[in-house]
Amino acid sequence: MSNGPFADFQNEVYLKGLLGEQPTLPFGWREVEAAAYEVMTPGAIGYVAGGAGGEDTMAANRAAFDRWRLVPRMLRGIPSHRSHETTLLGTTMPAPVLLAPVGVLSIVHPDAEGAVARAAAALGLTMVASTASSTPMEEVAASAPGGSRWYQLYWPSDLELAASFVHRAEAAGYEALVVTLDTWQLGWRPRDLSRAYLPFLQAEGVANYFSDPVFQRGLPEGDQLAAVQKFVGLFNNPTLTWADLAWLREQTSLPIVLKGLQHPDDVRRAQDAGVEAVICSNHGGRQVDGAVASLDALPGLVEVAGDLPVLFDSGIRTGADACKALALGAAAVLLGRPYVHGLALAGEAGVHHVLRCLLADLDLQTGLSGHASVSELSRESLVHVGR
Protein backbone atom coordinates (compact mmCIF):
# COMPACT_ATOMS: atom_id res chain seq x y z
CA MET A 1 0.00 0.00 0.00
CA SER A 2 1.17 3.53 -0.75
CA ASN A 3 1.84 6.04 2.00
CA GLY A 4 -0.86 8.32 0.60
CA PRO A 5 -4.47 8.61 1.70
CA PHE A 6 -6.58 5.45 1.73
CA ALA A 7 -8.74 7.05 -0.96
CA ASP A 8 -5.79 6.94 -3.39
CA PHE A 9 -6.69 3.29 -3.96
CA GLN A 10 -9.39 4.33 -6.41
CA ASN A 11 -6.91 6.52 -8.32
CA GLU A 12 -4.58 3.54 -8.49
CA VAL A 13 -7.33 1.38 -9.98
CA TYR A 14 -8.32 4.00 -12.56
CA LEU A 15 -4.69 4.62 -13.56
CA LYS A 16 -4.11 0.90 -14.09
CA GLY A 17 -7.24 0.84 -16.24
CA LEU A 18 -5.83 3.66 -18.34
CA LEU A 19 -2.73 1.51 -18.85
CA GLY A 20 -4.86 -1.46 -19.90
CA GLU A 21 -4.95 -3.41 -16.62
CA GLN A 22 -8.45 -4.42 -15.60
CA PRO A 23 -9.35 -5.43 -12.02
CA THR A 24 -9.60 -9.14 -11.32
CA LEU A 25 -11.59 -8.83 -8.09
CA PRO A 26 -14.94 -7.10 -7.53
CA PHE A 27 -15.27 -3.99 -5.37
CA GLY A 28 -18.82 -4.06 -4.00
CA TRP A 29 -19.28 -6.20 -0.91
CA ARG A 30 -22.28 -8.02 -2.35
CA GLU A 31 -20.33 -8.88 -5.49
CA VAL A 32 -17.36 -10.10 -3.45
CA GLU A 33 -19.67 -12.23 -1.33
CA ALA A 34 -21.41 -13.75 -4.36
CA ALA A 35 -18.12 -14.51 -6.08
CA ALA A 36 -16.77 -16.14 -2.92
CA TYR A 37 -19.76 -18.44 -2.64
CA GLU A 38 -19.13 -19.57 -6.21
CA VAL A 39 -15.79 -21.07 -5.16
CA MET A 40 -16.56 -22.31 -1.63
CA THR A 41 -17.91 -25.73 -0.72
CA PRO A 42 -21.58 -25.98 0.32
CA GLY A 43 -20.55 -26.76 3.89
CA ALA A 44 -18.24 -23.76 4.08
CA ILE A 45 -20.91 -21.48 2.60
CA GLY A 46 -23.41 -22.59 5.22
CA TYR A 47 -20.93 -22.12 8.03
CA VAL A 48 -19.75 -18.67 6.93
CA ALA A 49 -23.04 -17.26 5.63
CA GLY A 50 -25.40 -18.77 8.16
CA GLY A 51 -26.86 -17.42 11.35
CA ALA A 52 -29.04 -18.58 14.22
CA GLY A 53 -32.61 -19.74 13.70
CA GLY A 54 -34.46 -17.80 11.04
CA GLU A 55 -31.47 -15.45 10.70
CA ASP A 56 -33.60 -12.52 11.88
CA THR A 57 -30.72 -11.08 13.89
CA MET A 58 -28.49 -11.09 10.84
CA ALA A 59 -31.17 -9.19 8.92
CA ALA A 60 -31.68 -6.81 11.83
CA ASN A 61 -27.97 -5.99 11.92
CA ARG A 62 -28.09 -4.78 8.33
CA ALA A 63 -31.48 -3.05 8.63
CA ALA A 64 -30.23 -1.02 11.59
CA PHE A 65 -27.68 0.72 9.38
CA ASP A 66 -30.43 1.81 7.01
CA ARG A 67 -32.20 3.68 9.82
CA TRP A 68 -29.24 6.01 10.26
CA ARG A 69 -28.19 8.38 7.49
CA LEU A 70 -25.12 10.56 7.16
CA VAL A 71 -25.80 14.28 6.76
CA PRO A 72 -23.04 15.75 4.56
CA ARG A 73 -21.78 19.24 5.42
CA MET A 74 -20.16 21.52 2.85
CA LEU A 75 -17.31 24.08 2.51
CA ARG A 76 -15.49 22.96 5.62
CA GLY A 77 -11.95 23.02 4.24
CA ILE A 78 -11.43 19.26 4.32
CA PRO A 79 -7.82 18.23 3.50
CA SER A 80 -7.32 15.77 0.66
CA HIS A 81 -4.78 13.90 2.80
CA ARG A 82 -6.77 12.79 5.83
CA SER A 83 -5.32 10.92 8.80
CA HIS A 84 -7.51 8.49 10.72
CA GLU A 85 -4.79 7.18 13.02
CA THR A 86 -5.92 6.16 16.46
CA THR A 87 -4.47 4.44 19.51
CA LEU A 88 -6.53 1.86 21.33
CA LEU A 89 -5.32 -0.07 24.39
CA GLY A 90 -1.76 0.88 23.53
CA THR A 91 -2.09 -0.33 19.92
CA THR A 92 -1.58 2.34 17.26
CA MET A 93 -3.78 1.83 14.21
CA PRO A 94 -3.91 3.68 10.87
CA ALA A 95 -7.70 3.73 11.24
CA PRO A 96 -10.07 2.44 13.92
CA VAL A 97 -10.66 -0.79 12.03
CA LEU A 98 -9.73 -4.29 13.22
CA LEU A 99 -10.23 -7.73 11.74
CA ALA A 100 -12.81 -9.58 13.80
CA PRO A 101 -11.99 -13.07 15.06
CA VAL A 102 -13.25 -15.71 12.62
CA GLY A 103 -12.40 -19.34 13.18
CA VAL A 104 -11.93 -22.37 10.96
CA LEU A 105 -10.54 -20.39 8.01
CA SER A 106 -9.03 -23.52 6.45
CA ILE A 107 -12.49 -24.45 5.17
CA VAL A 108 -12.35 -21.28 3.06
CA HIS A 109 -8.74 -21.28 1.82
CA PRO A 110 -5.71 -23.49 2.59
CA ASP A 111 -3.58 -20.48 3.60
CA ALA A 112 -6.16 -19.75 6.31
CA GLU A 113 -5.12 -17.45 9.16
CA GLY A 114 -1.60 -16.92 7.88
CA ALA A 115 -2.93 -15.20 4.76
CA VAL A 116 -5.19 -12.99 6.84
CA ALA A 117 -2.38 -12.05 9.22
CA ARG A 118 -0.08 -11.06 6.36
CA ALA A 119 -2.75 -8.99 4.61
CA ALA A 120 -3.62 -7.17 7.83
CA ALA A 121 0.03 -6.53 8.65
CA ALA A 122 0.69 -5.10 5.19
CA LEU A 123 -1.87 -2.39 5.98
CA GLY A 124 -0.96 -1.93 9.62
CA LEU A 125 -4.31 -3.27 10.79
CA THR A 126 -4.83 -5.34 13.93
CA MET A 127 -6.00 -8.91 13.47
CA VAL A 128 -7.96 -10.54 16.28
CA ALA A 129 -7.00 -14.22 16.02
CA SER A 130 -9.59 -16.78 17.05
CA THR A 131 -9.16 -19.60 19.53
CA ALA A 132 -10.97 -21.68 16.89
CA SER A 133 -8.15 -21.07 14.43
CA SER A 134 -7.05 -23.63 11.88
CA THR A 135 -3.47 -22.57 12.64
CA PRO A 136 -1.75 -22.52 16.04
CA MET A 137 -1.55 -19.00 17.46
CA GLU A 138 2.26 -19.06 17.40
CA GLU A 139 2.28 -19.83 13.67
CA VAL A 140 -0.24 -17.06 13.02
CA ALA A 141 2.09 -14.65 14.80
CA ALA A 142 5.15 -15.95 12.95
CA SER A 143 3.44 -15.52 9.58
CA ALA A 144 3.44 -11.74 10.07
CA PRO A 145 6.16 -10.95 12.63
CA GLY A 146 5.71 -7.19 12.45
CA GLY A 147 1.95 -7.32 12.52
CA SER A 148 -0.41 -6.16 15.25
CA ARG A 149 -2.55 -8.88 16.76
CA TRP A 150 -4.98 -9.48 19.59
CA TYR A 151 -6.06 -12.91 20.78
CA GLN A 152 -9.70 -13.96 21.11
CA LEU A 153 -10.37 -16.46 23.88
CA TYR A 154 -13.13 -19.04 23.92
CA TRP A 155 -12.88 -19.78 27.63
CA PRO A 156 -12.84 -23.59 28.02
CA SER A 157 -14.21 -25.44 31.00
CA ASP A 158 -10.68 -26.61 31.91
CA LEU A 159 -9.11 -23.65 33.72
CA GLU A 160 -5.61 -24.98 33.27
CA LEU A 161 -6.18 -25.06 29.51
CA ALA A 162 -7.64 -21.55 29.61
CA ALA A 163 -4.54 -20.33 31.42
CA SER A 164 -2.32 -22.10 28.90
CA PHE A 165 -4.06 -20.35 25.98
CA VAL A 166 -3.63 -16.98 27.65
CA HIS A 167 0.02 -17.55 28.50
CA ARG A 168 0.78 -18.77 24.98
CA ALA A 169 -0.86 -15.69 23.48
CA GLU A 170 1.12 -13.39 25.72
CA ALA A 171 4.37 -15.17 24.90
CA ALA A 172 3.62 -14.98 21.17
CA GLY A 173 3.27 -11.22 21.25
CA TYR A 174 -0.48 -10.74 21.20
CA GLU A 175 -1.29 -7.28 22.52
CA ALA A 176 -4.74 -7.76 24.06
CA LEU A 177 -7.09 -10.53 25.13
CA VAL A 178 -10.61 -10.53 23.66
CA VAL A 179 -12.95 -12.79 25.63
CA THR A 180 -16.05 -13.88 23.73
CA LEU A 181 -18.92 -14.17 26.19
CA ASP A 182 -21.86 -15.09 23.95
CA THR A 183 -20.75 -18.51 22.70
CA TRP A 184 -20.65 -20.70 25.77
CA GLN A 185 -22.89 -22.95 23.66
CA LEU A 186 -23.41 -22.98 19.91
CA GLY A 187 -26.63 -21.37 18.68
CA TRP A 188 -29.26 -23.20 16.61
CA ARG A 189 -27.86 -22.96 13.07
CA PRO A 190 -30.14 -24.58 10.49
CA ARG A 191 -27.74 -24.24 7.56
CA ASP A 192 -25.11 -26.31 9.35
CA LEU A 193 -27.68 -28.75 10.71
CA SER A 194 -29.10 -29.38 7.24
CA ARG A 195 -25.71 -30.79 6.22
CA ALA A 196 -24.83 -32.22 9.64
CA TYR A 197 -21.72 -30.09 9.23
CA LEU A 198 -19.65 -28.95 12.19
CA PRO A 199 -16.04 -28.51 11.09
CA PHE A 200 -14.61 -29.01 14.58
CA LEU A 201 -15.76 -32.64 14.50
CA GLN A 202 -13.60 -33.05 11.38
CA ALA A 203 -10.61 -31.63 13.28
CA GLU A 204 -10.89 -28.24 11.55
CA GLY A 205 -10.46 -25.12 13.69
CA VAL A 206 -8.94 -26.95 16.63
CA ALA A 207 -5.24 -26.25 16.02
CA ASN A 208 -4.82 -24.25 19.22
CA TYR A 209 -6.19 -27.16 21.21
CA PHE A 210 -4.26 -29.90 19.44
CA SER A 211 -1.01 -27.93 19.80
CA ASP A 212 -1.47 -27.25 23.50
CA PRO A 213 0.53 -29.34 26.02
CA VAL A 214 -2.24 -29.11 28.61
CA PHE A 215 -4.83 -30.33 26.13
CA GLN A 216 -2.59 -33.13 24.88
CA ARG A 217 -1.96 -34.47 28.37
CA GLY A 218 -3.36 -37.98 28.68
CA LEU A 219 -4.39 -38.32 25.03
CA PRO A 220 -3.17 -41.34 23.05
CA GLU A 221 -0.60 -40.13 20.55
CA GLY A 222 -2.06 -39.66 17.08
CA ASP A 223 -5.62 -40.48 18.15
CA GLN A 224 -7.57 -37.71 16.38
CA LEU A 225 -10.96 -39.08 17.40
CA ALA A 226 -10.01 -39.01 21.08
CA ALA A 227 -8.72 -35.46 20.67
CA VAL A 228 -11.93 -34.31 18.99
CA GLN A 229 -14.01 -35.93 21.72
CA LYS A 230 -11.94 -34.19 24.37
CA PHE A 231 -12.41 -30.86 22.57
CA VAL A 232 -16.18 -31.33 22.49
CA GLY A 233 -16.17 -32.05 26.21
CA LEU A 234 -14.41 -28.85 27.23
CA PHE A 235 -15.21 -26.18 24.63
CA ASN A 236 -18.40 -25.06 26.37
CA ASN A 237 -18.24 -23.30 29.73
CA PRO A 238 -21.76 -22.27 30.76
CA THR A 239 -20.82 -21.89 34.43
CA LEU A 240 -18.81 -18.68 33.95
CA THR A 241 -19.90 -15.62 35.91
CA TRP A 242 -18.65 -12.06 36.31
CA ALA A 243 -16.70 -13.20 39.37
CA ASP A 244 -14.50 -15.42 37.17
CA LEU A 245 -12.96 -12.38 35.50
CA ALA A 246 -10.86 -11.85 38.63
CA TRP A 247 -9.21 -15.23 37.96
CA LEU A 248 -8.53 -14.25 34.36
CA ARG A 249 -6.95 -10.97 35.47
CA GLU A 250 -4.54 -12.95 37.62
CA GLN A 251 -3.36 -14.89 34.57
CA THR A 252 -2.24 -12.00 32.40
CA SER A 253 -1.06 -8.42 32.20
CA LEU A 254 -2.68 -8.01 28.78
CA PRO A 255 -5.63 -5.62 28.41
CA ILE A 256 -8.89 -7.57 28.65
CA VAL A 257 -11.70 -6.86 26.20
CA LEU A 258 -15.16 -8.41 26.63
CA LYS A 259 -16.94 -9.27 23.38
CA GLY A 260 -20.65 -9.89 23.01
CA LEU A 261 -22.25 -7.19 25.16
CA GLN A 262 -25.68 -5.79 24.20
CA HIS A 263 -27.15 -4.45 27.47
CA PRO A 264 -25.98 -1.33 29.36
CA ASP A 265 -26.04 -3.19 32.68
CA ASP A 266 -23.45 -5.60 31.32
CA VAL A 267 -21.22 -2.65 30.47
CA ARG A 268 -21.57 -1.49 34.07
CA ARG A 269 -20.57 -4.97 35.25
CA ALA A 270 -17.58 -4.85 32.90
CA GLN A 271 -16.55 -1.52 34.41
CA ASP A 272 -16.81 -3.00 37.90
CA ALA A 273 -14.63 -5.90 36.77
CA GLY A 274 -11.92 -3.49 35.64
CA VAL A 275 -11.64 -4.62 32.02
CA GLU A 276 -10.07 -2.28 29.48
CA ALA A 277 -12.73 -2.31 26.74
CA VAL A 278 -15.91 -4.01 25.54
CA ILE A 279 -17.26 -4.97 22.12
CA CYS A 280 -20.90 -4.39 21.24
CA SER A 281 -21.65 -7.55 19.27
CA ASN A 282 -24.27 -10.22 18.71
CA HIS A 283 -21.78 -12.54 17.01
CA GLY A 284 -22.98 -11.51 13.58
CA GLY A 285 -26.40 -12.98 14.31
CA ARG A 286 -24.99 -16.47 14.83
CA GLN A 287 -26.06 -17.04 18.43
CA VAL A 288 -29.45 -15.55 19.49
CA ASP A 289 -32.12 -15.33 16.81
CA GLY A 290 -34.35 -12.28 17.18
CA ALA A 291 -31.76 -10.43 19.25
CA VAL A 292 -31.35 -6.67 19.18
CA ALA A 293 -29.27 -5.38 16.29
CA SER A 294 -25.81 -4.38 17.43
CA LEU A 295 -26.12 -0.87 16.00
CA ASP A 296 -29.39 -0.40 17.90
CA ALA A 297 -27.68 -1.49 21.11
CA LEU A 298 -24.57 0.64 20.61
CA PRO A 299 -25.81 4.08 21.79
CA GLY A 300 -27.07 2.68 25.08
CA LEU A 301 -23.75 1.00 25.76
CA VAL A 302 -21.77 4.12 24.90
CA GLU A 303 -24.00 6.23 27.14
CA VAL A 304 -23.04 4.31 30.29
CA ALA A 305 -19.47 3.41 29.32
CA GLY A 306 -17.81 6.69 30.28
CA ASP A 307 -14.10 6.36 29.51
CA LEU A 308 -14.41 2.62 28.79
CA PRO A 309 -13.90 2.13 25.02
CA VAL A 310 -16.83 0.46 23.26
CA LEU A 311 -15.84 -1.29 20.04
CA PHE A 312 -18.42 -2.50 17.53
CA ASP A 313 -19.02 -5.45 15.26
CA SER A 314 -21.89 -7.34 13.59
CA GLY A 315 -22.92 -6.06 10.20
CA ILE A 316 -20.07 -3.80 9.03
CA ARG A 317 -19.85 -4.04 5.24
CA THR A 318 -18.95 -0.57 3.93
CA GLY A 319 -17.16 2.63 4.82
CA ALA A 320 -20.54 4.23 5.45
CA ASP A 321 -21.38 1.49 7.96
CA ALA A 322 -18.12 2.15 9.78
CA CYS A 323 -18.78 5.91 9.78
CA LYS A 324 -22.21 5.39 11.31
CA ALA A 325 -20.92 3.14 14.09
CA LEU A 326 -18.06 5.54 14.85
CA ALA A 327 -20.46 8.49 14.84
CA LEU A 328 -22.61 6.68 17.40
CA GLY A 329 -19.65 6.41 19.73
CA ALA A 330 -17.76 3.26 18.79
CA ALA A 331 -14.05 3.55 19.48
CA ALA A 332 -13.36 1.19 16.56
CA VAL A 333 -15.15 -1.29 14.32
CA LEU A 334 -14.37 -4.90 13.55
CA LEU A 335 -14.82 -6.37 10.06
CA GLY A 336 -15.73 -10.05 9.85
CA ARG A 337 -17.39 -11.91 6.99
CA PRO A 338 -16.20 -9.58 4.15
CA TYR A 339 -12.53 -10.42 4.64
CA VAL A 340 -13.42 -14.11 4.77
CA HIS A 341 -15.06 -13.70 1.37
CA GLY A 342 -11.87 -12.08 0.09
CA LEU A 343 -9.84 -14.97 1.50
CA ALA A 344 -12.02 -17.48 -0.33
CA LEU A 345 -11.62 -15.63 -3.62
CA ALA A 346 -7.88 -14.99 -3.69
CA GLY A 347 -6.17 -15.87 -0.43
CA GLU A 348 -3.95 -13.15 1.00
CA ALA A 349 -4.46 -10.94 -2.06
CA GLY A 350 -8.22 -11.22 -1.65
CA VAL A 351 -8.10 -10.19 1.99
CA HIS A 352 -5.78 -7.30 1.15
CA HIS A 353 -8.18 -6.17 -1.58
CA VAL A 354 -11.22 -6.21 0.69
CA LEU A 355 -9.39 -4.29 3.40
CA ARG A 356 -8.15 -1.65 0.98
CA CYS A 357 -11.69 -1.25 -0.36
CA LEU A 358 -13.10 -0.71 3.12
CA LEU A 359 -10.37 1.76 4.11
CA ALA A 360 -10.73 3.75 0.89
CA ASP A 361 -14.50 3.84 1.27
CA LEU A 362 -14.19 4.90 4.92
CA ASP A 363 -11.75 7.67 4.00
CA LEU A 364 -13.96 8.98 1.20
CA GLN A 365 -17.17 8.78 3.23
CA THR A 366 -15.52 10.68 6.05
CA GLY A 367 -14.20 13.46 3.85
CA LEU A 368 -17.21 13.78 1.56
CA SER A 369 -19.55 14.05 4.57
CA GLY A 370 -17.51 17.02 5.79
CA HIS A 371 -15.07 15.56 8.29
CA ALA A 372 -11.28 15.83 8.26
CA SER A 373 -10.91 12.61 10.27
CA VAL A 374 -13.06 9.86 11.70
CA SER A 375 -12.36 11.44 15.09
CA GLU A 376 -14.71 14.29 14.06
CA LEU A 377 -17.67 11.96 13.49
CA SER A 378 -20.40 12.35 16.09
CA ARG A 379 -24.13 11.94 16.61
CA GLU A 380 -24.48 15.31 14.86
CA SER A 381 -23.15 13.66 11.69
CA LEU A 382 -26.28 11.49 11.46
CA VAL A 383 -30.02 11.64 11.22
CA HIS A 384 -32.32 8.82 12.31
CA VAL A 385 -34.95 8.06 9.69
CA GLY A 386 -37.34 5.86 11.65
CA ARG A 387 -38.05 2.25 12.33
Pick the catalytic residue: 84, 109, 283, 352? 283
Give catalytic status of residue 341 as yes or no. no
β 310-312/277-280 pair status: parallel
Catalytic positions? 283
